[in-house]
Chain A
Amino acid sequence: MSPIQILIKELADQYGRRRECLLPVMQGVIERENYLSEYSIVEIAREMDLPAAEVYGTATFYSFMEVKPMGRFVIRICKTITCSMKGKNQVLFAIQDMLKIKVGETSADGRFTLLQTNCLGLCHKAPAMLINHTPFTNLTPEKVRDVLSDFMKK
């Protein structure tokens, strides 16, 4: 068995193989792989005895379930109203400038993917972003450069 098959089997053993266990299983794969490949989707479908189209359809409904390869660190910067008012664009330009990628792209070394997302629930500390699961708030171009420099060493 491939490592992914083993992971999916472990997740299914842990959560179950009923339909209501599908999201936790997919989330478990994303935790490891950062995205759901076509191969993972087919293997999840096989393991849980569901049509692959159903699995794909469910995955693509959720904005935190990506079906194309992501970098090791996924940056999701909030673009909803308060963050946008509080200088999100300047922060975004600073990120793009530093990583040489645009929104939706992954850096050549596979380290960073840059995405925009809707309200993160951190409006009182706007602008805000997530890197994988970790929130960063009250961002400025200077601050975001410091944060990214730390991640570049990881």
Chain B
Amino acid sequence: MGAQYQLNRADFIFKNENDWEEILTKILNQTPQDLINELISSELKGRGGAGFPTGLKWKVAAEAKASRKFVICNADEGEPGTFKDREILERVPYKVLTAMVACGYVIGAKEGIIYLRGEYRFLLEELLKVIEEFEYYLREIGQTFTIKVFMGSGAYICGEETALFESLEGKRGEPRNKPPYPTSSGYMGLPTVINNVETLAHTYTIFKYGAKKFYDLGVQYSRGTKLFSVSGDTPKPGIYELELGMSVQDFVHEFGDGDTKAVQVGGASGSLVPRKKFMDTAIGFSGKLTGISLPTGGSMMLFNSSRSMYNVLDNYLEFFREESCGQCTPCRVGCQQLLIGIKAVKRGDKPASYLDKLIRLTETMQHTAKCGLGQSVANSFSSIVENFREEMIY
């Protein structure tokens, strides 16, 4: 290990400054090109988990030629162990709305949509009130941007951007093939920028304090801060804003209960890090210099030694089996067979070597499934089975 990581707390996102009118004016006084440059030089990457550079996304959408474009805020936060977006929309919704207007201004869109998951229906009334106030102000200053809230109805897969478009269009939330990418053909086949709630909130920070302030935090390839949703066996579950690039060891030192056996980074679709790898694993987007790096949408679940990793995997697979949209065979059949498979090994109906066969099945899913759901089952499955093999068998 070359680099030494440490845990650095930050406080940008939830700092309630209520200065959005001022920031909005500042944004609208710059040219779209300046704003794009600001975002690109901040090296902000998408905070939903996939990590696509946000500045580039806005740039491509700005260059797309169309009479109508959309800005969509993805608030279909469904990954097990993630709850940061709800908190942002509850506590600082105006930051997200300001960022949506900024994005609309940059790419030339007049319509914004927030796709809010059905489970968060209880946020709706407050959110609509804030939007009403916000739109009133926009009209005052002569902006014609509108923001609508569209409610989901309970489907994890709708967090996948193209499935989300299908759902917005009134259909089953089944992912589309990519390309074409949303920036050229998204909602209604028109150029669309779709950003996670947290990503939008970070752009507010960047436009307010400048790209340098953001860039100076974190490590190479993983700049800035990130919200972490901490849950499981920890004395202090909750949401924490931390600089990217810390090691899992440092994280556990801060949040563990002294008996942490493993940490699930990135929810059910992420990877499990066992104790022996805490030192060598960093939290951030991977790059040449950073060794093993795990990207995350912010879900950090801690397990102590009283937990059976078999039960954990069983719970994840049950989740995937239910949430798989059923459109493509590798995912639909794969998720079911994995669950049947580990149960059979546990009962002793299948030999331990059958686990290797199941790992190969997840590899097949990784290559052949249509979207991130089926592809990422391999992450948690292989990291759990490889590190806790004996718990799967006995």
Interface residues in chain A, defined as those with a beta carbon under 8 Å from any beta carbon in chain B: 18-24, 26-27, 57-58, 61-65, 79-82, 84-85, 117-126, 130, 133-135
| B322 neighbours in A (Cβ, 8 Å) | 63, 118
Interface size on B, residues (CB 8 A): 53
Q: A81-B312, A118-B322, A124-B229 are in contact. Are A63 and B155 (CB under 8 A)?
A: yes
Q: How far is the CA of A61 from the CA of B172 in the complex (A)?
A: 6
Which 8 interchain pairs have the tightest Cβ spacing?
A: A64-B154, A22-B170, A62-B153, A124-B237, A123-B231, A63-B154, A61-B172, A64-B153
Question: Could you list 16 further interchain pairs (A-B, Cβ under 8 angstroms) beyond the known A58-B172, A121-B119?
Answer: A20-B168, A22-B170, A23-B150, A26-B153, A27-B151, A61-B155, A64-B119, A82-B232, A118-B78, A118-B319, A119-B80, A119-B81, A122-B83, A123-B231, A123-B237, A124-B238
Question: B172 touches which one: A57, A63, A123 (CB < 8 A)?
Answer: A57
B151 with A80: CB separation less than 8 A: no
A80 with B239: CB separation less than 8 A: no
CB distance from B366 to the nearest CB of A (A): 22
B232 with A24: CB separation less than 8 A: no
B residues 249-292 near A (Cβ < 8 Å) are: 264, 268
B229 with A123: CB separation less than 8 A: yes
Q: A81-B316, A85-B232 are in contact. Are A119 and B173 (CB under 8 A)?
A: no
Most buried by A among B170, B232, B307: B170
Q: How far is the CA of A134 from the CA of B172 in the complex (A)?
A: 26
Q: Does B301 have its Cβ within 8 Å of any Cβ on chain A?
A: yes
CB distance from A44 to the nearest CB of B (A): 11
| B325 neighbours in A (Cβ, 8 Å) | 61
Q: A23-B170, A85-B307 are in contact. Are A62 and B80 (CB under 8 A)?
A: no
Q: Does B167 have its Cβ within 8 Å of any Cβ on chain A?
A: yes
Q: Does B323 have its Cβ within 8 Å of any Cβ on chain A?
A: yes
A64 with B118: CB separation less than 8 A: yes
B78 with A119: CB separation less than 8 A: yes
B83 with A121: CB separation less than 8 A: yes
Q: Looking across the interface, which residue of chain B has its beta carbon closest to that of A122?
A: B83
Q: Does B246 have its Cβ within 8 Å of any Cβ on chain A?
A: no
B86 with A121: CB separation less than 8 A: yes
Q: Does B77 have its Cβ within 8 Å of any Cβ on chain A?
A: yes
A123 with B315: CB separation less than 8 A: no
CB distance from A58 to the nearest CB of B (A): 6
Interface residues in chain B, defined as those with a beta carbon under 8 Å from any beta carbon in chain A: 77-83, 85-86, 117-122, 150-156, 167-174, 188, 229-233, 237-239, 264, 268, 301, 303, 307, 311-312, 315-316, 318-319, 322-323, 325
| A125 neighbours in B (Cβ, 8 Å) | 237
CB distance from B230 to the nearest CB of A (A): 7
CB distance from B354 to the nearest CB of A (A): 24
B319 with A19: CB separation less than 8 A: no
Q: Looking across the interface, which residue of chain A has its beta carbon closest to that of B151?
A: A27
| B169 neighbours in A (Cβ, 8 Å) | 19-20
| A26 neighbours in B (Cβ, 8 Å) | 153
Q: Looking across the interface, which residue of chain B has its beta carbon closest to that of A50?
A: B170
Q: Looking across the interface, which residue of chain A has its beta carbon closest to that of B165?
A: A20
Q: Looking across the interface, which residue of chain B has its beta carbon closest to that of A62?
A: B153
| B319 neighbours in A (Cβ, 8 Å) | 80-81, 118-119
CB distance from A113 to the nearest CB of B (A): 15
Q: Looking across the interface, which residue of chain A has its beta carbon closest to that of B117?
A: A121
| A121 neighbours in B (Cβ, 8 Å) | 77-78, 82-83, 85-86, 117, 119-120
A21 with B82: CB separation less than 8 A: no
A124 with B83: CB separation less than 8 A: yes
Question: B118 touches which one: A57, A62, A126 (CB < 8 A)?
Answer: A62
Q: How far is the CA of A126 from the CA of B172 in the complex (A)?
A: 30
Question: A23 touches which one: B167, B231, B323 (CB < 8 A)?
Answer: B167
CB distance from A119 to the nearest CB of B (A): 4
Q: A62-B118, A123-B237, A124-B239 are in contact. Are A82 and B80 (CB under 8 A)?
A: yes
| B307 neighbours in A (Cβ, 8 Å) | 85
Question: B151 touches which one: A21, A23, A126 (CB < 8 A)?
Answer: A23
| A84 neighbours in B (Cβ, 8 Å) | 311, 315
CB distance from A111 to the nearest CB of B (A): 20
| A20 neighbours in B (Cβ, 8 Å) | 168-170, 188
CB distance from B310 to the nearest CB of A (A): 13
11 A-B pairs within 8 Å (CB atoms) are namely: A80-B80, A80-B319, A81-B80, A82-B80, A82-B301, A84-B315, A117-B154, A123-B232, A123-B301, A124-B230, A126-B231
| A124 neighbours in B (Cβ, 8 Å) | 83, 229-231, 237-239
Q: Looking across the interface, which residue of chain B has its beta carbon closest to that of A133?
A: B121
Q: How far is the CA of A61 from the CA of B120 in the complex (A)?
A: 18
B153 with A23: CB separation less than 8 A: yes
| A85 neighbours in B (Cβ, 8 Å) | 232-233, 303, 307
CB distance from A80 to the nearest CB of B (A): 5
Most buried by A among B82, B117, B231, B301: B231
